[in-house]
Amino acid sequence: MRRRRLPLPRALLLVAGTAVGAGALAGTAHAGRGGALPPLEIELGHAVTHTTRGQHEAPQLLVGLSWASLYPRPTPIDVSVGVVATFAPAPGPRARARATSPVAEPAAGGGAAGAFIDVAVRGAAGRHWRTWVGGRGELLDHGEVSGLGCAARASIEVWTGVFAGGHGGAVMGTLALSAWAETGLREQPHREVASFVAAGLGLRLPFVVAR
C-alpha cells in the first residue's frame, strides 16, 4: 500500500542524534556548560522477516521516550514514542546483479526506518523486577514506499528507581536492563504483508539534567 514517504535519512538521523545527545550531555557537563538527557528506552535485537520471496534477517533498533523511564516508582502502564529501524545486510553478488537490472524492484524485508508508538501494561512483578505485555504501531519508510506495521510483544526487566538532585544537576527516572521478544506484521514494498519475529536486549535511562 503506497503512502506518503517518510525520509529515511531523517529517521536515521534521529537515532544517531539520540546517541550523540547522550555523549554531548557527558561532554558539556564535564565542561561546565550543562545539558540534559531525556528519559529513554533503547532496544537492540535481531529480526527475522518471512515474505513470499524468502526469509530475511536484520538487526533492529528502537529508541524512544518512555513514561516508565521517567517515573521512578512502580507504574501499571508504559507509553513510549520514538523511532524504529531495521538494517539490511550488504547484498551479495547475485543481489547486486539484480539491483542493476532495469526491472529490479525494491527487496522485501530489507532495511526500513520510521516512527512508532508503544503501549504496554505491567504483568507479574517483584520489588526490582517486572514484566510487560503490550503492542506497538509503526509507520515505516522502505525507501520507495511507506507502510504500516504492528507488533505484539513481551519483556522482562530488572529495574531500580532513581531520584536525586543537587547543585550539579538532577536525575529522576528508572535504570533498567531488559530482555524482550515480539512478533508482528509489516507492509512491504511489493504490496504484501510480511510476518516477523524479533528478540533482543533493552536499556532504560532516566531523565538527567546537568548544570
* Digit-coded pLDDT (tens) for 124-162: 999 999 999 999 999 999 877 889 999 999 999 999 999
Instruction: Give the SS3 label for residue 167.
Output: coil
CA atoms of 37 and 19, how far apart (whole Å): 10
Q: Is residue 102 part of a domain?
A: no
Per the model's pLDDT, the better-predicted residue between 114 and 8 turns out to be 114
Q: Is residue 103 part of a domain?
A: no
Q: Is residue 19 part of a domain?
A: yes
Q: Is residue 92 part of a domain?
A: no
State how far the alpha carbon of 35 is from the alpha carbons of 25, 31, 136, in Å. Answer: 5, 10, 30
| Statement: residue 6 has pLDDT above 80 | no
Q: Is residue 75 part of a domain?
A: yes
Do residues 152 and 162 lie in contact, with contact meaning Cβ atoms separated by under 8 Å? Answer: no
Exposure class string for 115-128: b at 16+ Cβ within 10 A, else e: bbebebebeeeeee
| CATH number of the CATH domain containing 81 | 2.40.160
* Digit-coded pLDDT (tens) for 158-193: 999 999 988 888 999 999 999 999 999 999 887 889
Q: Is residue 171 part of a domain?
A: yes
Position 181 scores a pLDDT of 98
Backbone φ, ψ for residue 64 (5° rounding) = -150, 160
Q: Is residue 43 part of a domain?
A: yes
Position 15 scores a pLDDT of 47
Do residues 153 and 137 lie in contact, with contact meaning Cβ atoms separated by under 8 Å? Answer: no
Instruction: Give the SS3 label for residue 70.
Output: helix
CA atoms of 123 and 67, how far apart (whole Å): 16
CA 138 centroid distance within chain: 10
| Statement: residue 9 has pLDDT above 50 | no
Instruction: Give the SS3 label for residue 108.
Output: coil
Do residues 156 and 178 lie in contact, with contact meaning Cβ atoms separated by under 8 Å? Answer: yes
Predicted TM-score of the model (pTM): 0.77
Q: Is residue 101 part of a domain?
A: no
Q: How many domains is the chain built from?
A: 1
Position 169 scores a pLDDT of 87
* Digit-coded pLDDT (tens) for 28-85: 445 556 789 999 999 999 999 998 888 889 999 999 999 999 999 999 999 999 999 9
Domain that holds residue 127: 8-86+109-210
DSSP 38: -
Position 110 scores a pLDDT of 60
Give, in degrees to the nearest 5, the angle at Cα 150 between 60 and 18. Answer: 40
The residues that bridge with 184 in the sheet, in sequence order, are 151, 196
* Digit-coded pLDDT (tens) for 78-111: 999 999 999 876 554 444 444 444 434 444 556 7
